[in-house]
Amino acid sequence: MEAPATKQKLFYGYVIVPVSFFLLMMVYGLLYSYGVFVKPMASDLGLTRAATSGAYSVGLIVTGFLYMLTGRINDKFGARVLMTLCGLLVGAGCLLMSTVQAPWQLYLFWGGVLAIGQSGGIVPITSTIAKWFVRRRGLMTGVAIAGIGFGEIILPPLITLLIGAYGWRQAFAILGVAEFVILVALAQFLRRDPAQVGQLPDGAGALTPERAAKAGGFSLPEALANRQFWILAAGLFTHGFVLHATFVHMVPHATDLGITAISASSIMAFIGGLSIFGRIGLGNAGDRIGNRTAYLIAYSLTLVSLLWVQVATNLWMFYLFAAVFGLAYGGEATLMAPIIARLFGLKAHGAIYGIIFFGISIGGAIGPYLAGKIFDLTGRYQTAFWLSAGVTVASIILTAMLRPTRPSGSV
């Protein structure tokens, strides 16, 4: 008599991906909504735009620095405990932001408490996905971090409505409760790697779970000694500069030109919506044509969008900017974890990614502050956008310089 077929066990990676989607939606939907708070906070607290955006910059530096630590923690212990703690801090940080009365509190609560909480974001989560998937790593990473795009669609307009109805302080209080509940609950479903549930990474072939867990590749010191690490890090530093300068100042720029606050926030939502297509499309393209080529496409689109925004004056022109910029930015974010895995393997993936992301955060801290300073001096943002376009050219040049780290490897 023939034995009955054994029921196939659900591959837990397909739980990790949607959980990661919603975690990233909540963390980065909040982060990239900072621009809608800039004008009301600056007016209420009597601050310049440079000073107000400076808290965002400090937060990026803190988060980026901690990614070097949280990436290594994730390599050893996994993201479940890490994201639980971070959910507590993000919720507490939002509640504290509702009480801000002085500039030092703004910098401490956003640039300190919230920033520490956000260090459980993209580096630990996408590094976890890289451990679960081999064959479709770029695609699955793209699907997961499409959650960032959904966060950008939902949260900026929602927060704008909350601010209009209740004020920016009450908006932060409501966000604090929502962030705490959702992040802590979802974190309980995360697992470090397939070996924790007795499975293999998707596409790992005939390896045992134990051998698959002992991922090969560069150690952190080996990666730091490799020229390709520094080329990649420099290229992504410039990406951080452009991305965060745009996210913080695009809404104020649009409202300065007479566009209503709710319409201006919809520009950010449009960027988020189109970024979903960029994340999945360019993530999948990275699997097929190579991550370097996909990055070059994304950076070229960024350059086109920044040249266009120089002449944008009407809402439809900003939507066109948002469409092109969103496609590019979505791809750029998705390709980070896969290109690091391709160049340096998985042995110290989280630690390597954390250091590279620290560089991105430094660029991201400089960009918004410098753009705000340019506005304070000139009364307009055009010079800041020209600077961002020039920085994007540097991104293209640096990415074109990337080469495989092993004879059999590819970028």
Q: Please write the tens of the pLDDT for every residue from 50-89.
A: 888 889 889 988 988 898 888 788 878 888 888 999 999 9
Residue 207, in any domain of the structure: no
* Length of the chain (residues): 411
Helix, strand, or coil (residue 199): coil
Position 332 in a domain: yes
Structure token digits, residue 39: 């004008």
How far is the C-alpha of 124 from the C-alpha of 119, rounded, in Å? 8
341-380 pLDDT, tens per residue?
889 887 888 788 888 988 888 898 899 889 988 988 998 8
Residue 245: which CATH number? 1.20.1250.20
Does some domain include residue 259? yes
Lowest mean per-residue pLDDT among 88-102, 149-163, 165-179, 294-308: 149-163
pLDDT at 237: 92
Does 2 reside within a domain?
Answer: no
Residue 321 lies in a domain: yes
Please report which helix (H) or strand (E) contains residue 79, including its range: helix 79-97
The domain total for the chain is 1
Judge whether 8 lies within some domain: no
Q: How confident is the model at residue 97 (pLDDT cuts 50, 70, 90)?
A: very high
Average pLDDT over residues 213-229: 81
In a domain, 201, yes or no: no
Domain that holds residue 179: 13-196+212-400
Name the 3-class secondary structure at 135. coil
Cα-based distances in Å from 216 to 74, 117, 311, 314, 342? 16, 30, 49, 52, 11
pLDDT reported for residue 209: 47
Among 172-186, 244-258, 267-281, 353-367, the range with the most confident prediction by mean pLDDT is 172-186
pLDDT in tens, 162-186: 999 999 999 999 999 999 999 999 9
In a domain, 409, yes or no: no
